[in-house]
Structure 1
Amino acid sequence: MSGTAIRVLLVDDHAVMRAGFRMILEAQDDIVVVGEAADGEAAVVAASTLQPDVICMDVQMPGAGGLEATQRIVADPMISAAVVIVTTFDRDDYLFQALNAGASGFLLKNAGPEDLVTAVRVAAAGDALLAPEVTRRVIERFTETAEAPAAPAPDPLAHDLTEREREVLKLVAEALSNAEIASRLYIGEATVKTHVSNVLQKLGTRDRVAAVVYAHRHGLA
Structure 2
Amino acid sequence: MARILIADDHPVVLEGLAGLLTGAGHHIVARCTIGTEVPAATEGSHPDLLLLDLNMPGEDGLQLLRRLPANGSRPFRIVLLTSSITDAQAAEAVRLGVNGLVLKDAAPQVLVECVQAVMAGRRWLDPEVAERILGTRGEQNARTSNCQLSPREKDIVDLVQRGMRNRQIGERLNLTEGTVKVYLHNIYQKMGVTSRTDLAARTRE
- Verify: 1:108 aligned to 2:103, yes or no: yes
- Verify: 1:84 aligned to 2:84, yes or no: no
Instruction: Report the CA distance between 1:134 and its aligned residue.
Output: 4.8
User: SS of the residue aligned with 1:63?
Assistant: coil
Q: Which residue matches 1:46?
A: 41
Distance 1:49 1:60, change over 3 A: same
Give the residue type in structure 2 aligned to 1:138. I
Contact 2:100-2:124 at 8 Å conserved across structures: yes
Contact 2:102-2:125 at 8 Å conserved across structures: no
Task: Map 1:55-204 to 2 at 5 A.
Answer: 55-75=50-70, 79-129=74-124, 133-140=128-135, 169-170=144-145, 172=147, 177-179=149-151, 180=153
Instruction: Report the CA distance between 1:53 and its aligned residue.
Output: 1.0
Give the residue type in structure 2 aligned to 1:46. A
Gaps of 5+ in 2: 158-185, 193-205
Superposition TM-score, scaled by structure 2 size: 0.64
Superposition TM-score, scaled by structure 1 size: 0.60
Q: Which residue matches 2:12?
A: 16
Instruction: Report the CA distance between 1:125 and its aligned residue.
Output: 1.3
Instruction: Report the CA distance between 1:75 and its aligned residue.
Output: 2.3
Q: Which residue matches 1:188?
A: none
Give the residue type in structure 2 aligned to 1:123. V
Instruction: Report the CA distance between 1:130 and its aligned residue.
Output: 6.2
Distance across 1 between alignment mates of 2:99 and 2:156 = 24
CA displacement, residues 18-49 of structure 1 (integer Å, 9 cap, x when unaligned) = 001011111123x1111111122211111122
Instruction: Report the CA distance between 1:142 and its aligned residue.
Output: 10
Distance across 1 between alignment mates of 2:96 and 2:133 = 14
Task: Map 1:18-37 to 2 at 5 A.
Answer: 18-29=14-25, 31-37=26-32
- Number of equivalenced pairs: 158
Distance across 1 between alignment mates of 2:35 and 2:105 = 22
Instruction: Report the CA distance between 1:169 and its aligned residue.
Output: 4.2
Taking only the aligned residue pairs, the percentage that are identical comes to: 27
Gaps of 5+ in 1: 147-165, 185-208, 216-221
Contact 1:51-1:79 at 8 Å conserved across structures: no
CA displacement, residues 151-196 of structure 1 (integer Å, 9 cap, x when unaligned) = xxxxxxxxxxxxxxx9994264xxx744447999xxxxxxxxxxxx
User: SS of the residue aligned with 2:134?
Assistant: helix
